């Protein structure tokens, strides 16, 4: 993509509305713009990151045998009466259609998916079943803040498992627990699992996953052994569950190990074993092999896709800007033409740009008529893993400058060596 033809409104200064790093950096790098309190437009750069994260989540859900569906954003309010939840409290966004039917903008989808299940599945033979979707949700927060970290309209992946009995449902739960650990690891995050309260969703077992960041909303306490366990190829669930972790008032200093760490955490995922909390009142039954009919056992599993972007930036940035993990970066290489109009610079840049594209390496080519300083600052701000600068001095002797955003290491190299480094 040529920066000259790309909507990338970077800002030198942090807008006043933003108080934390991720919010400031997402505004400054031209990823998002606020439309209304807690409601954001996603500009091209932000949309790419959102898609990258959603795709990783979808791939891991698919490999965990979940099936992608799509439920609508607007739900009939009467389903919430059936389940007994009534509504989602003051965070519910209500609407009434022209025929006076009460609708709510889905803050979560237990009712809708339970309704879908009871209308389509009858027999134990069709289980286990895990349905997920990636869809916008609305929760009318009293004080939306921190940009996409606590927005009102936000993108969430929510999955729902259906099993014949509690034992099978707990297997489905563990299956999702492992999938979540894989997802967060692929996103470059250390997300520690905590036993959690079940709150408005309900059920009797729950874990949340928290990313350590100084701006986190919860105080968290955890055994530092997690950090090693979460990097292992195969996760040992028993081991993980035996390690101490507790958030906020669930912390008990008497039970915590000596080496227990204390930090702030950002919640990025939450899973619940629901049992028959929704299937019982809504009559979502299945026929068992012995002919008996009973409510299906459910679990639900949420990941905040848009919120994850905030969490990733909170845990990976420096004073100059964002430092994207390879897995979610909007482009892999930022190619800087230091002197557009200089024949050798232009030719080298066009060649490199064409070669990178041919090799399938996503590249943002800064071909704009801006100062070198402004271009380097913008590139550092948007945080692509590799920055390749072509200037009139070096190119005369066939040299370019390659910088690694994370390590900060700069090297002057031949074009071939730079390409090899990027492709390796």
Binding stretches for a second copy (CB under 8 A): 5-7, 9, 30, 33, 35-37, 39-44, 47, 50, 65, 67-76, 90, 93-99, 101, 103, 105, 112, 115-116, 119-121, 126, 129, 131, 136, 138, 140, 142, 152-153
Q: Nearer to a second copy by C-beta: 76 or 230?
A: 76
Least distance to a second copy from the beta carbon of 220, Å?
Answer: 29
Nearest alpha carbon to residue 53 among 327, 382, 386: 327
Least distance to a second copy from the beta carbon of 108, Å?
Answer: 15
Least distance to a second copy from the beta carbon of 71, Å?
Answer: 5
Q: Nearer to a second copy by C-beta: 58 or 403?
A: 58
Q: Nearer to a second copy by C-beta: 101 or 414?
A: 101
Least distance to a second copy from the beta carbon of 284, Å?
Answer: 14
Q: Nearer to a second copy by C-beta: 33 or 261?
A: 33
Q: Nearer to a second copy by C-beta: 71 or 388?
A: 71
Least distance to a second copy from the beta carbon of 350, Å?
Answer: 18
Nearest alpha carbon to residue 176 among 305, 60, 340, 37: 60
Task: Please report the DSSP string for 354-365 in residue order.
Answer: HHHHHTT--EEE
First to last CA, the chain: 22
Strand, helix or coil at 328?
Answer: coil
Structure tokens at 90: 């003051």
- B/e letters for 144-163, b = 16+ CB within 10 Å, e = fewer, are bebbbbbbbbbbbbbbbbbb
Q: Nearer to a second copy by C-beta: 68 or 416?
A: 68
Q: Nearer to a second copy by C-beta: 36 or 293?
A: 36
Which are the contacts of 226, defined by CB distance < 8 A and separation ≥ 6?
A: 190, 192, 240, 243, 245
Q: Nearer to a second copy by C-beta: 142 or 293?
A: 142
Least distance to a second copy from the beta carbon of 227, Å?
Answer: 34
Least distance to a second copy from the beta carbon of 114, Å?
Answer: 12
Least distance to a second copy from the beta carbon of 46, Å?
Answer: 8
Q: Nearer to a second copy by C-beta: 25 or 395?
A: 25
Measured CA angle at 325 (ends 181, 265), to 5 deg? 50
- B/e letters for 372-407, b = 16+ CB within 10 Å, e = fewer, are eeebbbbbbbbbbbbbbbbbeebbeeebbbbbebee
Backbone angles phi, psi at 410, to 5 degrees: -115, 140
Number of Cβ atoms within 10 Å of the Cβ of 354: 12
- Beta-bridged to residue 36, according to DSSP, are 39
CA distances from 184 to 220, 267, 284 (A): 18, 12, 32
Least distance to a second copy from the beta carbon of 195, Å?
Answer: 31
């Amino acid at each position: 993509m040529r920066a000259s033809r790309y909507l990338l409104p970077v800002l030198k200064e942090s807008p006043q509305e933003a108080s934390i790093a991720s919010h400031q950096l997402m505004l400054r790098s031209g990823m998002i713009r606020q439309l209304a309190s807690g409601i954001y437009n996603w500009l091209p750069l932000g949309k790419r990151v959102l898609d990258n994260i959603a795709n990783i989540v979808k791939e891991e859900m698919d490999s965990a045998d979940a099936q992608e569906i799509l439920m609508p954003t607007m739900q009939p309010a009467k389903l919430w009466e059936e389940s007994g939840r009534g509504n989602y409290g003051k965070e519910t966004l209500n609407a009434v259609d022209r025929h006076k039917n009460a609708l709510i903008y889905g803050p979560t989808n237990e009712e809708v998916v339970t309704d879908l299940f009871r209308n389509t599945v009858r027999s134990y033979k069709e289980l286990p079943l895990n349905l997920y979707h990636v869809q916008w949700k609305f929760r009318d927060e009293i004080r939306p803040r921190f940009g996409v970290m606590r927005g009102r309209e936000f993108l969430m992946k929510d999955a729902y498992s259906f099993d014949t009995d509690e034992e099978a449902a707990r297997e489905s739960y563990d299956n999702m627990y492992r999938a979540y650990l894989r997802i967060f690891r692929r996103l470059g995050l250390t997300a520690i699992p905590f036993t959690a309260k079940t709150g408005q969703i309900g059920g009797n077992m729950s874990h949340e996953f928290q990313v350590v960041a100084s701006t986190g909303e919860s105080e968290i306490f955890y055994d530092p052994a997690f950090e090693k366990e979460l990097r292992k190829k195969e996760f040992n669930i028993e081991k993980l569950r035996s390690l101490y972790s507790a958030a906020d008032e669930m912390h008990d200093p008497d039970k915590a190990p000596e080496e227990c760490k204390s930090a702030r955490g950002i919640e990025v995922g939450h899973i619940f074993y629901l049992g028959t909390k929704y299937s019982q009142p809504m009559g979502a039954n299945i026929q068992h092999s012995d002919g008996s009919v009973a409510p299906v056992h459910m679990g639900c599993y949420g990941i905040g896709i848009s919120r994850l972007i905030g969490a990733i930036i909170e845990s990976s940035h420096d004073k100059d800007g964002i430092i994207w993990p390879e897995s979610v970066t909007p482009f892999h290489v930022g190619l800087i033409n230091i002197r557009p109009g200089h024949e050798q610079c232009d030719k080298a840049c066009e060649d490199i740009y064409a070669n990178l594209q041919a090799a399938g390496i996503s590249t943002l080519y800064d071909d704009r008529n801006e100062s070198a300083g402004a271009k380097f600052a913008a590139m550092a701000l948007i945080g692509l893993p590799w920055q390749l600068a072509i200037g009139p001095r070096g190119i005369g002797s066939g040299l370019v400058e390659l910088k690694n955003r994370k390590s900060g290491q700069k090297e002057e190299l031949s074009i071939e060596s730079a390409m090899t480094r990027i492709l390796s």
